[in-house]
Amino acid sequence: MIRGKFIVLAGSTLLLAGVAVVAAISTGSDDQGSRDSGGDHGGTTLSGSNQAAVPQIDSGESPVAEVAPPKIDDPISDAEMRDLQTVAEQMGISLQAAIDRYAWNDNFSLAAAMVSESFPDSYAGAEIVNANSAWIAFRGDAPPGALETIAIFTESHPHITVDIRTNSGQ
C-alpha cells in the first residue's frame, strides 16, 4: 500500500502534503522513458533507465526525520538562513536587512496560531504590518495566557512592536 509520495531531486527528498511523488531526473537525451498515468497511486511513473521506485511504507514509521516542534523564540535555523540569503539576493538587499524584515515572521505566526488555538473565543485576528510591527486582536480583553505567549515573542524579538488590540470585532 502506498501511503505517500515523495519528490527526489538531486539527492533531496521532499514530503508534500502527506503525499509522495518519486521522480527520476533523466540527464540523457534518450527517449526510453514512458509515462504511465494509471494505477492506484494517482500520479505519474517515469520508467526507463532512470526509473525510480515508489517506496512502500508498511509500518507506521514516518520516512521524515523527527524534528523538535518549533518554538516562538527559536533562533534562525540553517534552512531559514539559506532562504533569507536567497531572499536577500533576489531582492537586492543585504542579508541583515532580510533577517530584520523576515526572520521573525514565522515566530510571530506561531505565536498568533498558539493564541488562536488556546483562546478561540477571545482571539479576533493578527497581522504582520511591516518590517517592525504586527498586531494581535481580541474580541474582549486579552486573556493573561495570551499575553504571556505574546511576551515570549516580544522578549526574543525586541525590535518588533506588537500592538495588542482589545474589544475588536476583527
- More reliable by pLDDT, 170 or 16: 170
Measure CA of the first residue to CA of the last residue in the chain; give whole Å. Answer: 46
How many helices (H) and strands (E) the chain has is answered by: 4, 7
What is residue 69's predicted lDDT score, i.e. its pLDDT?
A: 85
Confidence band, pLDDT 50/70/90 cuts, at residue 56: low
Nearest to 135 by CA among 117, 121, 153: 153
Domain boundaries, the chain: 1-59, 68-170
Report the predicted TM-score, pTM, of the whole model to 2 decimal places: 0.60
Q: For the chain, what is the mean pLDDT?
A: 75
Residue 42 pLDDT level (bands cut at 50, 70, 90): very low
**Contact predicate 108/153, CB 8 Å:** yes
pLDDT of residue 43: 44
